[in-house]
Amino acid sequence: MNTAPPGLNDVLQRTFSFPKRHFLSASDLNEVEVANLLDLADGFVSLNRQTSKKLDLLKGRTLMNLFFENSTRTQSSFELAGKRLGADVVNMSPRSSSISKGETLIDTAVTLNAMQPDLLVVRHSSSGAASLLSQKVSCSVINAGDGQHEHPTQALLDALSMRRAFGRIAGLKVAICGDVAHSRVARSNIALLQMLGAEVRLVGPPTLIPPQAERWNVAIFHDMREGIAGCDVVMMLRLQLERMDGVMAPSQREYFRFFGLDREKLACAAPHARVMHPGPMNRGVEIDSDVADDLSVSLIQDQVEMGVAARMAVLTSLAARLENAR
């Protein structure tokens, strides 16, 4: 234990055996599990800020990143998380390999499974893809985003950022703004934040709010100023530019005028309000640089840092449960 970096004991004390084999959806979690994961992640944040960041909690384990959709930041976040925990990390981009040769998702899964990975991180453009994969492999599957369904580690890192900024999540008013309809980030956040006792609102034009979302126990606003009024957190979502040219919204300039977050609209939120964005941002479209870059209101950089810690917490907890764990 002499060689252990400071804080490791602290972290190890927080490790708990996660009761599920996979990490697929925020709605699968319960309040206790989330609290444990957040506590654990908090410990990793301190560790990650030290010079020596390397741990051996996942020593001997193999982490496979399987990204059917390109994502620099999520993939490197998982890669770093795995490496800092001492796992061997392999990055697969099936886009440029077998899948493009006609192999089905399940064939790929079975092939990769034969290589005996312990943890499989999956991103796919189809909703439900991670769940389908998890039924065909013997390792743990972590959903790193499936279509327009869920992105549970993003919700976890968002919750961690909020908890650190406000000291709590229960009772916070959170406005999720923009392209909710196509957002897996929004769906995971709605589930997790509501579980933790936050009040969630959705803000966007009707074309970007999922049909019948009012049944999710969220208030829906089509006027951004009304929607973010009094909110503690304004969570902006990315809107793909091609959806903006007269498809879901008339134009970039109209979108920014009515649904882009600038100082003037932000003034409607609570005085201490913080701004979040899962990235990558379209500056001047959904968010004004002036707001995004103001560290006194923006949590956007924190979110990236919390991402590594939150993913380390998920990987550690899943690994602790694996059959051959100890």
State the residues that interact with another protein by CB under 8 A. 205-207, 222-223, 245-251, 253-254, 257-258
16 or 258, CB closer to another protein? 258
Task: Confirm if 175 and 231 have CB atoms less than 8 A apart.
Answer: yes
166 or 258, CB closer to another protein? 258
245 or 293, CB closer to another protein? 245
Minimum CB separation of residue 221 from another protein in Å reads 9
Name residue, tokens 């506590």: 39
Rounded to whole angstroms, how far apart are CA atoms 79 and 121? 10
N-term to C-term CA, the chain: 18
Minimum CB separation of residue 180 from another protein in Å reads 14
Minimum CB separation of residue 259 from another protein in Å reads 9
Minimum CB separation of residue 231 from another protein in Å reads 19
- Indicate the DSSP class of residue 58: T
* 88 φ, ψ (degrees, to nearest 5): -85, 130
- Cα-based distances in Å from 307 to 5, 133, 138, 206, 238: 21, 23, 26, 31, 17
68 or 259, CB closer to another protein? 259
Sheet holding 62-67, edge to edge: 88-92, 62-67, 119-124, 140-146
| Four-residue CA torsion sign, 119, 19, 309, 196 | positive
21 or 222, CB closer to another protein? 222
Minimum CB separation of residue 249 from another protein in Å reads 7
| Four-residue CA torsion sign, 322, 33, 178, 283 | negative
85 or 249, CB closer to another protein? 249
Minimum CB separation of residue 242 from another protein in Å reads 11
Minimum CB separation of residue 262 from another protein in Å reads 16
212 or 296, CB closer to another protein? 212
The two tokens of residue 207 are: 């074309």
Q: Where are the beta strands (DSSP E) in 39-172?
A: 62-67, 88-92, 119-124, 140-146
The two tokens of residue 185 are: 């980030």
Minimum CB separation of residue 321 from another protein in Å reads 45
Give the strand pairing for 88-92 and 173-177.
Answer: unpaired
151 or 182, CB closer to another protein? 182
Q: Which residues, including other chains, have CB under 8 Å from residue 311's CB and lie 6 or more apart?
A: 77, 78, 81, 153, 157
The 3-state DSSP class for residue 229 equals coil
Kindly state the helix (H) or strand (E) to which residue 235 belongs, with its residue range. strand 233-236
